[in-house]
Structure 1
Amino acid sequence: MLNVTENTLKLEDVQAAADVIAGQVEHTPMRHSRTLSEITGAEVWIKFENFQFTAAFKERGALNRLMGLTDEEKKRGVIAMSAGNHAQGVAYHGQRLGIPVTIVMPENTPFVKVQHTRNYGARVILKGSTLIEANEHAQMLCEKENLVFLHPFDDKLVMAGQGTIALEMLDDVSKPLDCLVIPVGGGGLISGIATAAKALQPDIEVIGVEVEQFPALFNELKGEPPKAGGTTIAEGIAVKTVGRRNFEICQRLVDDVVLVDEDTIERAITLYATVEKTISEGAGAAGLAALLAHPTRFSGKRVGLVLCGGNIDTRLLASVLTRSLVRDQRLVNIRILGDDRPGLLALVSKVIGDSGANIIEVAHNRLALDVPAKGAEFDILVETRDAQHTQEVIEALTAAGYPPRKL
């Protein structure tokens, strides 16, 4: 068993974790993406951690921590605070190992995540409106019920478990990678990966990725005060401060941290879905988003990405994919003002159809005061092949005497 009081994480700890969890978690695929390489200008290799049973890498650290418990601690049971992937990893492997699990989640946690965690046999308690409040309640219960607290990232055994990803990544490529681009929340994933990767290949770059609203590691490494807050699609890495053990490792081993915005993360989620035919949550797509946002930083390099999770709400995924069509002008809303006479809509529809576009939705407005009494206003949602095709449709309508305005 590893000594959890020893602060310094070493390659040997990660290798020991690999032996402990072998056969109990997936050795996930590491694949080269020719299309994403062409798009980003880097040679892109992807570690598909969304192929884990709970669809996220958190299983590795959770299992290694659970396996490190004494028999007496296993009987007492464990408690964790999490709104997502750590909760499911602890619950799933706790159930497998016969260890009682309690998970405290904020009251606004999406129902699907709550239900999945309960389905793995955990006692789920919804408490507080924020992770901070949920954590306070978890700590209180931990002391009151004499449970063992399983921290999601600031724990040596957890970091060692996450670091097993690096062992697989470096072993599964034919030539050495130039850099690893790793999403950063609390820092458990990048701490474990950096420890293993730098020990095996000292010249490899390890680069963290954070969202602009939560630049915890980015700011702390620069000696700047923490500034975090807001809404992000990458809620899995929306952490205000990194763990203390994690920061110590990152300070020594992480070469750089880059920031990405919401629009770029949405693009990355869409590319994973359309190019790789796989599902990524916002945090899982952060590595690819970094390549899209900072192309010159990674151009020509052999880059390893960790698609660290695929637990995205289906409605949110649908919204992201639809928004990508709007962004690429494959879905465009146009407004046409014309005279209110029979057959006008049929004429406009024919022009659009003859141009090869598809009408998705039509709204017909005669009562708006800014429309002439003898006029009619149409808002038409049109699907096209691309931005050039959209322009061709607009030109055809203009030539027919009904110049549209994009909304």
Structure 2
Amino acid sequence: MKNLLREVLCSRVYDVARETPLEAAPKLSQRLGRSILFKREDLQPIFSFKLRGAYNKIAQLSPEEQARGVITASAGNHAQGVAFSARRLGIRAVIVMPQTTPEIKVAAVRAFGAEVVLQGDSYSDAQAHCEKLVESTGMVFIHPFDDPLVIAGQGTVGAEILRQRGSGLEAVFVPIGGGGLIAGIAAFLKAILPDVLIIGVEPFEADAMYQSLAAGRRVRLEQVGIFADGVAVREVGRHTFPLCREHVDEIVRVSNDEICAAIKDVFDETRSVMEPAGALAVAGLKRYAAERESRGGAWVAILSGANMNFDRLRFIAERAELGEAREALFAVTIPERPGAFRAFCAAIGQRVITEFNYRLHGRAQAHIFVGVAIRDRSDAATLLEHLRQEGHEALDLSDDEMAKLHIRHMVGGHAPEARDERLYRFEFPERPGALMEFLDKLGGHWNISLFHYRNNGVDFSRVLVGIEVGDGDLPAFGHFLERLGYPHVEETTNPAYRFFLGESRP
């Protein structure tokens, strides 16, 4: 601990990094009824805090190590931090990135003078290739989070918060990936202000630190969600884990929709657009505020990065209202007779309808997919109960991931001819040949009965596929899925699928 505090105070980060402002967030403060401050790490030269740790590590390499050059595996902000730092120090840098990395990120790293090696479809593939290059070239590996000097560099964020708001500080909310940022901030602040709360924030689908602290040991996740790619880490660090276990008070987990809503909140305050991981702390702060009372001190959220791909904005804008509980999605059944549609609209009342999808289903009844503006979650529950009291069979789909990703865009009725249809969500690497690889491995064994693809501007595309597979073919189909190797989730029993696309309900 003494070494870490000394390394924070003696770090070299200000050769390249700036002391970022701690800004008030008046709109969010008024809404939540407490003092909210944003620590603007998005204002660093590479638009991310990652520059601090990367430079602090590289600047303290020996002359012999610097002569060997530095290497890392990253598709995100750490890559830019290493490239920027190496250029500043006149050191050769090699960055190994997955082939699926968006060109904007590859171009940004190359613009800093680093050599880019594209390898594999995932970060794991790139990391494995990076390890081989380290062995064959002797270059120095710069870890994105699990290195004492990297942790100390990130800890300078905590030192700045102390200088900028040393009194009246109640809680600091920090995004967690591998744990380097929160380990540095927590260790430093707890040594000076032991009563300040350090709250980590993770997505539900990438919660390696939460799982590890609950188990009392480092847990390796089988899969991680990639929406907040800046924190999509399967296993936290051997250095960061004990620091978090000792100094972090609590971890809050949030949904992707809550992250989207937080991006909108930050934009409303600053007119800056955070990447998903960059707004993660704000999402956690809002969830924490909904569940806990404030002691009266200021709450700080770390805005950790703003390297957003423009193509992702469509998806984020679409989901922000759901994340803010300003919109609810319903599946509603109405009788197929004159006047039924009008009766349904009367049941909705004066509420704003945000989306409406309808298709005739037989002559007895019709299924409707409808989005409605609401005040909060309790308002949605009130509306659902009202619809049922008015005689409409209704289902709230606001938390159904498949309904929000796919069904809302492809409501088209059932397929009477489809037999033994099984539904799967896949993540395809966004690269040429990915679909053909899927079809080649599928071969002529099973018929595709449904296919929906939507690119959301990330490294992997989400694909919904219906395949006709009889019970006798299930073992062979399971073997196909294993050979395919793409992340997937079966959705055959999903109520939204049954309602709009699957077999007719009895």
Write the distance in 1 (CA, Å) between the matches of 2:165 and 2:197.
Answer: 16
* Contact map agreement 2:208 2:220 (CA 8 A) in 1: yes
Describe the shift of the 1:48–1:369 C-alpha distance in structure 2 as closer, same or farther (beyond 3 A). Answer: closer
> Structure 1 323/251 Cα, relative in aligned 2: closer, same or farther at 3 Å?
closer
Preserved CA contact (<8 Å) 1:9 1:156: no
TM score, norm. by length of structure 2: 0.63
Identity of paired residues, percent?
37
CA distance in 1, matches of 2:356, 2:248: 53
Q: How far apart are the structure 1 equivalents of 2:355 and 2:193?
A: 56
Q: 1:323 aligns with which of 319, 322, 325?
A: 319
Q: What residue is the counterpart of 2:239 in the other structure?
A: 245
Q: Following the alignment from structure 2 to structure 1, what is the Cα–Cα distance between the partners of residues 293 and 132?
A: 45
CA displacement at 1:59 relative to structure 2: 0.2
In structure 2, the CA distance between the partners of 1:88 and 1:330, relative to structure 1 (3 Å rule), is same
Q: 1:128 aligns with which of 81, 102, 120?
A: 120
Q: 2:256 aligns with which of 259, 262, 265?
A: 262
Q: Hey, what does 2:63 align to over in structure 1?
A: 71
Structure 2 counterpart of 1:309: 305
Provide the residue aligned with 1:286 in structure 2.
280
1:110 maps onto 2:102 in alignment:
yes
- Work out which of the residue numbers 228, 244, 268 in structure 2 matches 1:234: 228
Shift of the alpha carbon at 1:9? 4.6
Q: Deviations over 1:294-339 (max 9, x none)?
A: 223363442111100011111112331243357635999xxxx9x9
Matched, 1:169 2:165: no
Give the whole-Å Cα distance in 2 for the aligned partners of 1:217 and 1:331: 32
Paired residues of 1:60 and 1:162 also in contact (CA < 8 A): yes
Q: Which runs of 4+ in 1 moved over 6 A?
A: 359-363, 368-372
When structure 1 is superposed on structure 2, of 222-231 and 302-311 the one drifting more is 222-231
Are the equivalent residues in 1 in contact too, given 2:202–2:253 (CA < 8 A)? Answer: yes
Paired residues of 1:325 and 1:331 also in contact (CA < 8 A)? no
Asked if residue 60 in structure 1 is aligned to residue 52 in structure 2, the reply is yes
Task: Check the 8 A contact 2:220/2:235 in 1, yes or no.
Answer: no
Q: Using the TM superposition, give the Cα deviation of residue 369 of structure 1 relative to its aligned residue in structure 2, in angstroms.
A: 7.0
2:149 to 145, 154, 157: 157
Contact in 1 for aligned 2:51/2:81 (Cα 8 Å): yes
User: Where does residue 182 of structure 1 map in the other structure?
Assistant: 174
Which range moved further: 95-104 or 129-138? Answer: 129-138
Structure 2, unpaired ranges of 5+: 331-335, 339-349, 376-407, 409-506
CA 1:227 to 1:40, structure 2 compared with 1: closer, same or farther past 3 Å?
A: farther
1:46 partner SS:
strand
- 8 Å CA contact 2:4–2:148 kept in 1: the answer is no
Task: From the superposition, tell whether residues 323 and 256 of structure 1 become closer, same or farther in structure 2 (CA, over 3 Å).
Answer: closer
Aligned residue number for residue 396 of structure 1: none
What is residue 36 of structure 2 aligned with on the other side? Answer: 44
Secondary structure of 1:274 counterpart: helix
2:203 is matched with which residue: 207, 211, 214?
211
Count of aligned pairs: 358
RMSD: 3.3
Q: Distance in 2 between matches of 1:45 and 1:86?
A: 25
Tell me if 1:85 matches 2:77.
Answer: yes
Shift in CA distance, 202/124, structure 1 to aligned 2, threshold 3 Å: same
Instruction: Tell me, in whole angstroms, the C-alpha distance in 1 between the residues paired with 2:280 and 2:106.
Output: 24
Contact 1:41-1:298 within 8 A present in 2 as well = no
Residue 297 (1) aligns with residue 263 (2)? no
Looking at structure 1, the residues matched to 49 and 239 of structure 2 have their Cα atoms a distance apart, in angstroms, of 19
Q: 1:261 to 1:360 in 2, by over 3 A?
A: closer
1:324-368 Cα offsets, whole Å, 9 max, x none, are 357635999xxxx9x9xxxxxxxxxxxxxxx9x9x99999x9xx8
Structure 1: unaligned runs, 5 residues or longer: 1-6, 340-354, 373-378, 389-406
Aligned partner of 2:26 in structure 1 is: 34
**CA gap 1:218/1:100 in 2 versus in 1, 3 angstroms:** same
